[in-house]
Amino acid sequence: MNQRVAEINRKTKETSIKLTLNIDGEGKADIDTKIPFLNHMLELFAYWGLFDLEIKAEGDLEVGIHHTNEDIGICLGEAFKEALEDKKGIKRFGFAAVPMDKALAEVTLDISGRPSLNFEALMPSRLTVTFNGEIDIEKFIENLRSDQKYTFEDAKHFLQSFVNNCGVNMHIGIRPSSDLHHILEAIFKALGIALDKATQIDPRRQEVSSTKGKI
């Protein structure tokens, strides 16, 4: 099987990003986003997903990390979409659960072509309460300790950009914890593992994994 690779170059008035991806890699990462905490998260993502990933980014960090953070998510999503091409034979679905001390993240995804990002709280009873209506994900996270100047909202923006441009339906469940670093680390590790499973080729299937014949 040919290795599934992509190179994305994105240049705007706000950012300049070069990203190369090998889905069938060894987990090697060379990441320089100028956002140290995001570098760390993407290194974990690549390692646990066994993706070879290189990113060089420049952005208007003097006004904040928003544009750079979001545009890297866009480029990563575009890279996976390009590298997967027609998606023939991929398993399509992936799931992973990663604990980090008291934190727990579960990522379930489908490379369906229909982007959607959904966050849920995993309660100790194992019942799931969605963050719609009375319970608000921002209120749950806003008091968490973070020394990295990278917020839960930043992570949401990154992941939303990724799913929108890759075409992934993704659900993320979080067990409450007071350590934002551990929550985000568990999410990015679980994302790598789940995406590795979803992009694997099933040797029994030669066609696209859909009764429609197209994703």
* Residue 193: predicted pLDDT: 98
* Residue 156: predicted pLDDT: 94
Q: C-alpha angle 171/41/80, rounded to 5°?
A: 60
The number of beta carbons lying within 10 Å of the beta carbon of residue 171 is: 17
Q: Helix, strand or coil for residue 80?
A: helix
Mean pLDDT of 126-153: 52
Structure tokens at 210: 């859909």
* Residue 121: predicted pLDDT: 79
* Residue 138: predicted pLDDT: 54
Check if the beta carbon of residue 131 is closer than 8 Å to that of residue 214: no
Helix (H) or strand (E) segment spanning residue 152: helix 152-166
Check if the beta carbon of residue 171 is closer than 8 Å to that of residue 120: yes
- Higher-pLDDT residue of 17 and 144 is 17
80-114 pLDDT per residue, tens? 999 999 898 999 999 999 999 989 999 999 999 99
pLDDT band at residue 134 using 50, 70 and 90 as cut-offs: very low
* Residue 211: predicted pLDDT: 61
Q: C-alpha angle 196/53/34, rounded to 5°?
A: 125
* Residue 210: predicted pLDDT: 66
> What 8-state DSSP symbol labels residue 61?
G
Mean pLDDT of 3-11: 96
Mean pLDDT of 55-68: 94
Mean pLDDT of 11-36: 97
* Residue 205: predicted pLDDT: 81
Structure tokens at 130: 């969605």
Cα separation, 102 vs 89, in Å, equals 37
Q: β-strands 169-175, 116-122: how paired?
A: parallel
Residue 20 forms beta bridges with which residues? 7, 54
- Domain-wise residue ranges, the chain: 5-199
Strands (E), the chain: 5-11, 15-22, 29-32, 52-59, 93-100, 103-110, 116-122, 128-130, 169-175
| Whether pLDDT at 123 is above 70 | no
Fold of 5-199: Ribosomal Protein S5; domain 2 (3.30.230)
